[in-house]
Amino acid sequence: MGSISNRAGQADDPKDGCLVMHAEMKQTCPICHSTEWKAEYQGPVRDGVFGKYDDGIVWKCDGCGVSHLPPKEENLTDYYQSDEYREDVGEHADPQDYFSRHDDEQFDKARFLKGTSFRGKVIADIGCAGGSFLDVAKGLAKASIAIEPGKSYHASLRERGHHVYDSLESAAEQWQGQVDVAVCFSVIEHVLDPVEFLTGIRKLLTPDGVLVLSTPNQRDALLDFSGNPYRSFFYRRVHPWYFDEDCLRLASTKSGMTFEPQYVQRFSFANFAAWLREGKPTGNAHEAALGPVFDDVWKSTLETQKKSDYLYGFCRPAA
């Protein structure tokens, strides 16, 4: 990765009267190696929990379309190994706190794993945190591998019978080419180099293995409909990368894997309407909700148009 140099400032553009940004981004895109970036957004970005903001510039790569928010932390590996990251996002770096926040999401995820069986398989969860998903899948699997930089989770993960590693490299020493199903939920947007990261996962997989990953969708409809209030929520200091299907496919291809997308809309129409009305997140519990039939149509419409709030991907080692 090249060096980052941002010199942010604003001045009136004499040509069209709009504000333009005089800032520079000197970094080679880790996906397509372009050095051309356009400032896509400048303004408040989420810095930890909702309500806390920092000013930032989001850059869009001219080559592959990935968006980048330069991270504040100079050493991301150290950051994720410490407890600071969980605390920055308003959580506590202990397993019980993780279970109380994330256990109930796990059955929802199973819905998106279409046709992926864990029975008798070696499974790995990359960036598993407290390991709620591995606990759900472990009963079927031959072996379960927990890869998590946050050391506060390790003792508890071991107690629950998972093989625990703090990095892809250390897991590969024992499991290279042996993992049948890897999952990686909401992690790729955090890493410094997405291609290097996916390459590390690919090395773990058997030739007919699969990686199921998920990440926020850069084509999320609310980015267009709500505009800046939603942008300042969507862009987060802890997420250096924002993907759409095309740049995620390119990252997957560069790491030696094929890619098949699946669009998943998590939030309801009432949440969407509240963003337009109030400019803030209100979640899925709404008195004004129009009911599950309407929400099913709403969600499948966004998913069909590739404008859902989440993007899943099925990556398989290329033949």
Q: Select 41 or 230, whichever has its Cβ closest to Zn ion.
A: 41
**Residue 49, H or E segment:** none
Q: How far is the CB of 235 from Zn ion (least distance, A)?
A: 18
Q: Select 30 or 95, whichever has its Cβ closest to Zn ion.
A: 30
Interface with Zn ion by CB under 5 A: which range of 5-13, 28-36, 94-102, 154-162?
28-36
Count of CB atoms within 10 A of residue 224's CB?
Answer: 10
Report the distance separating Cα 89 and Cα 216, nearest Å: 16
- Classify residue 2 by burial, with Cβ atoms within 10 Å: 0-12, 13-18, 19+: exposed
**Residue 138, H or E segment:** helix 132-138
Report the distance separating Cα 316 and Cα 319, nearest Å: 9
Q: Select 65 or 200, whichever has its Cβ closest to Zn ion.
A: 65
Q: How far is the CB of 193 from Zn ion (least distance, A)?
A: 12
- Classify residue 160 by burial, with Cβ atoms within 10 Å: 0-12, 13-18, 19+: middle
Q: Select 12 or 62, whichever has its Cβ closest to Zn ion.
A: 62
Q: Select 132 or 252, whichever has its Cβ closest to Zn ion.
A: 252
Report the distance separating Cα 214 and Cα 211, nearest Å: 10
Q: Select 34 or 301, whichever has its Cβ closest to Zn ion.
A: 34
**Binding residue for Zn ion (CB under 5 A) from 25, 57, 58, 64?**
64
Report the distance separating Cα 149 and Cα 147, nearest Å: 7
**Binding residue for Zn ion (CB under 5 A) from 25, 29, 126, 251?**
29
Q: How far is the CB of 62 from Zn ion (least distance, A)?
A: 7
**Binding residue for Zn ion (CB under 5 A) from 48, 63, 279, 281?**
63
Q: How far is the CB of 170 from Zn ion (least distance, A)?
A: 29
Report the distance separating Cα 299 and Cα 166, nearest Å: 36
Q: Select 242 or 267, whichever has its Cβ closest to Zn ion.
A: 242
Q: Residue 145 in contact with residue 163, Cβ under 8 Å?
A: yes
Amino acid at 299: K
Binding-site residue total for Zn ion (CB under 5 A)? 7
Q: Is 279 in the site for Zn ion (CB under 5 A)?
A: no
Q: Is 61 in the site for Zn ion (CB under 5 A)?
A: yes
Q: How far is the CB of 65 from Zn ion (least distance, A)?
A: 7
Q: Is 31 in the site for Zn ion (CB under 5 A)?
A: yes
- Residues engaged in binding Zn ion (CB under 5 A): 29, 31-32, 34, 61, 63-64
